[in-house]
Amino acid sequence: MSLQELQSEIERKADEEASRILEASKQEADRIIAEANAKAQSLRDERTKALERELDARERAELAVARMDHKGELLRIKSGWVKRVLEEAEKRIAEMAEKGGREYHELLGSLILEAVTKTNGNKFNVEVSVRDKEAIKHAFETIAAKAGKIKKEEVVLQLETLQTRTLGGVVVSTADRGQYFNNTLEARLSTAARTVEGAVYKILFEAGEANE
């Protein structure tokens, strides 16, 4: 082989090796780029998912707060209506007691009879307001007689003035003051308030809540 031919062969071999190296480098570069793109996409996907989770959690939290605010506002409105109903009931009862009249006197007699018959013993102090004291005097013997029939023994009632301020009604105690039965209008209103509250909630809001 001549020197020229040898030189040509070397150049050919060098070109082949260079092409092989370039092709291998290109493939490696393509692989590296593909891996980098895949990693970048994975990071983007993970970041997107994390952002979605954060937004979802924030949305759920905001929704929960909104629901709490809604329930709190609804409860405030309900409580306001219940308060208005109870205040109106107290106002009407107070007006009825203040006016006196047959209806209230019958109620007062019933309150005294209930308190006496539900308290042990047969001798009682019956305390009413100054306003009611004169009004109930005429029915006192009749109330004692009715109580006696219910308790099946003679009942003795001592009419006294109630020292505390009240809308009306009665406080009954045994002669020795060992037992008390508070049957004032305030006490009855307080006892009835829980039942009234439930009834008012049902009347005013049950239908609305069913549609929520």
Residue 209 token pair: 């809540």
pTM of the shown model: 0.56
Are 167 and 97 in contact by the 8 Å Cβ rule? The answer is yes
Residue 18 Cα distances to 4, 13, 15, 158, 178, angstroms: 21, 8, 5, 128, 117
Q: Indicate the range of 86-95, 152-161, 201-210 predicted with least confidence.
A: 201-210
Options 3.30.2320.30, 3.40.50.620, 3.40.30.10, 1.10.240.10; CATH of 101-193 = 3.30.2320.30
- What pLDDT band is residue 171 in, cutting at 50, 70 and 90? very high
CA 172 – CA 159 distance, rounded (Å): 10
Pairing of strands 156-161, 180-184: unpaired
- Find the mean pLDDT for residues 146-158: 92
- Find the mean pLDDT for residues 128-134: 87
- What pLDDT band is residue 123 in, cutting at 50, 70 and 90? very high
CA 144 to chain CA centroid, nearest Å:
46
CA 183 – CA 167 distance, rounded (Å): 11
